[in-house]
Amino acid sequence: MSTASPPRNRNDFKVAIICALPLEASSVQSVFDICWEDEGKQYGKVKGDQNFYSTGVIGMHNVVLAHMPGTGNTDASGVATGIRTSFTSIELALVVGICGVVPQHSATPEDIVLGDIIISTDVIHYDVGKQYPSGFRKKKEIGDSLGRASLEIRSFISMLQTPRPLKRLTESFALLIHSEQFQKEVPAAKYPVTVQDRLYEASYAH
């Protein structure tokens, strides 16, 4: 049960979640302990911000969920700009969604299968480069990558990679995913059985 107090205004929100697809946003909303709109609370946005938001509580944190109008860099940058103008106290912004992934981790032989939850350690801007006579070359220098996460976030991820915190996180996710409330709100999250648990080959052009 959440112990979070209703935010006084938009400045009380410290965590933002960005979802590109309604399917992703629906899954995030299903883990809200409280949805402030359901409680009759509206926090609005500044004039000129074209985003639409849902607000709620996850655990002890008041969270604002931004609904992207579509996928792509243009929509993503517009949504990020809107959040920064309307919710000026955001300290942590998470992009939560299906994203793209090959079904095997590059550093281990462990397969990545449907239903796995992956926490990334870096974000790389891979879709921009330069056209040379010999062909297209992607940018890969440090200066071409997106900014690194803050020291606090990188330290937190480092902590999650140790056995005890990782075990606690895994067990908490398992309890949530198998809870009756989650299954009721997101019936599509039910395990599709082995026969339907299929992935593309890693070489497939996603």
List domains and CATH numbers for the chain: 10-99 (3.40.50.1580)
Q: What is the DSSP letter of 8?
A: S
Q: Return d(Cα 182, Cα 26) in angstroms, integer.
A: 11
Mean pLDDT of 113-138: 69
Residue 101 predicted with pLDDT over 60:
no
Whole-number pLDDT of residue 163: 92
Average per-residue pLDDT in the chain?
Answer: 79
Q: What is the pTM of this model?
A: 0.71
**Is residue 73 over pLDDT 80?**
no
Cβ neighbours of 70 (radius 10 Å): 9
| pLDDT of 111 over the 60 cut | yes
Let me know: does 28 contact 55? Beta carbons within 8 Å. Answer: no
- Band (95; pLDDT cuts 50, 70, 90): confident
Q: 129-132 and 135-138: which strand pairing?
A: antiparallel
pLDDT at 142: 46
Average pLDDT of the segment spanning 154-178: 86
List all residues 6 or more positions away from 185 whose beta carbon is below 8 Å from its beta carbon: 30
Query: For residue 201, is pLDDT > 70?
Result: no
Query: How confident is residue 114, by pLDDT bands cut at 50, 70 and 90?
Result: low
- Tell me the C-alpha distance between 162 and 194, whole Å: 30
For residue range 32-65, list pLDDT tens digits in order. 999 999 999 999 999 999 999 999 999 889 999 9
What is the average per-residue pLDDT within 14-41? 91
pLDDT classification of 67: cutoffs 50, 70, 90: very high
| pLDDT reported for residue 153 | 80
Element (H, E) at 93: strand 92-95
> What pLDDT is attached to residue 157?
85
